[in-house]
Homo-oligomer: A and B are copies of this chain.
Amino acid sequence: MKLTKVISSIKPLNTAAIEKAKKRQAQLTKPAQSLGRLEDIAIQLAGITGESIPSLGKKRVILCAADHGVTAEGVSAFPSAVTPMMVLNFLSGGAAINALSRQAGAEVQVVDVGVASDLPKNKNLISAKIARGTANFKVEPAMTEKQCEAAIELGLQLADKAKKDKVKWVALGEMGIGNTTSAAALMAALLPCAVEDVTGFGTGINREQWLVKCRVIQEGLKLHESYLINPFEALRRLGGLEIAALTGVILGCAKNRIPVVVDGFITSSAFLVAYRLNPLVKDFAFFSHLSEEPGHAKFFHMLETHPLLNLKMRLGEGSGAALALNILEAAVRTHAEMATFESAKVPTKIEKEKKKAKSKR
């Protein structure tokens, strides 16, 4: 489906299901609101799915990988050669996201959107290479229009496949040496905010390298300045192929009414593009954790929301999203499986009269 059509096909939450879910929460055997954010999650999910009692089911991490031309500027602590090696690590099950997905009972779908080098055929790898990495955004647009559109379209297809496969939760993951630089540039352009506020130490650069990273982003923003009011152009000029694909996944999931679990700083930059294209996507998203990347807090401040976890993580891959799946499922379980005051014959709150009699005893 064409991007513009997808954007306009996203419908608001189902308010009837939300009202029913709220009513149910009030009847469950617990003091009102005592499950805190778990209650909000269950209610939001009812609005997404249209089911007042949503069910558990398949979870999928969609992990998009690509390389970044901007690494030529020396913005990363690790060489680009790490991108394909980590993809192989994902495929052999040895990365953090694999361990965390096993813990969550989620499957990992690894997608080569634009890794620079050739990757061996593997039944667990979706080979959808659109380009061998992006161009260096400091000197030219990261992607051509066609490349950016193709990456978004790939994401939309992944969201459609998730729907076809009856996936209940999509968690977003990414891999791409240099992608905190692209993400920071997108955040600076679209939040918007100062480059220094959204530029972090990535996989572990030093202060000197951080200054280089900031300067590179500044120069990129200056070069593309007149186009950045348009979210698609910001994505195309500053983003990455994996980021564009994830933007597509987010929009496609919102269209398909599949809840999306945003991971850290990179997937949040993909979310930000989708959000600027249609703010309704926020209703379909759950924000897993606060990354140690300093720009992530800025992102949440703009969105006026709080992530579920803060465990000082900054790995990406979908690690925080995979970890949050358990909280999201716990919300579904308590909502669906708890007894009501009536069914469990548990007395409810003391009436005023009863209380007075009681305290006189």
Q: Are B315 and A102 in contact (CB under 8 A)?
A: no
Is A120 located at the chain interface by the 8 A CB criterion? no
Partner of A31, one of B34, B315, B358: B315
Q: Are B34 and A359 in contact (CB under 8 A)?
A: no
CA distance A350 to B205 in the complex (A): 10
Contact B203 A34 (CB under 8 A): yes
- Chain A: how many interface residues by the 8 Å CB criterion? 72
Those of A325-361 within 8 Å (CB) of chain B: 326-327, 329-330, 333-334, 336-339, 343-350, 354-355, 358-359, 361
A102 surroundings in chain B (CB, below 8 A): 333, 337
> What B residues does A89 contact at CB under 8 A?
29, 339, 344, 346
Interface pair B31/A204, CB less than 8 Å apart: yes
Binary interface encoding of chain A residues 17-49 relative to chain B, with 1 for a CB under 8 A from any of its CBs, else 0: 000000000001111111111100000000000
A239-256 CB contacts (< 8 Å) to partner B: none
Residues of B within 8 A of A32 (CB): 204
Let me know if A78 and B38 touch, CB within 8 A.
no
Please name the residue on chain B nearest to A74 by beta carbon: B359
Given contacts A103-B326, A347-B82, contact A37 B311 (CB under 8 A): yes
Chain B residue contacts of A57, Cβ below 8 A: none
- The one of B212, B344, B354 that contacts A92, using a Cβ cutoff of 8 Å: B344
Q: Does A73 contact B (CB under 8 A)?
A: yes
Contact A34-B338, Cβ < 8 Å, known A333-B99, A333-B100: no
Interface contacts beyond A29-B96, A81-B347, A86-B346: sample of 19 additional A-B pairs, CB < 8 Å, sorted by A: A28-B96, A34-B314, A35-B96, A35-B313, A76-B350, A77-B349, A82-B347, A85-B344, A93-B337, A94-B338, A94-B343, A96-B334, A96-B338, A102-B337, A103-B329, A103-B330, A310-B310, A311-B327, A323-B326
6 smallest beta-carbon distances between A and B, as pairs: A94-B339, A36-B312, A74-B359, A326-B326, A34-B315, A31-B203
Q: Which residue numbers of A lie inside 8 Å of B, CB to CB?
A: 28-38, 72-74, 76-79, 81-82, 85-86, 88-89, 92-96, 98-100, 102-104, 203-204, 212, 292, 308-315, 319, 323, 326-327, 329-330, 333-334, 336-339, 343-350, 354-355, 358-359, 361
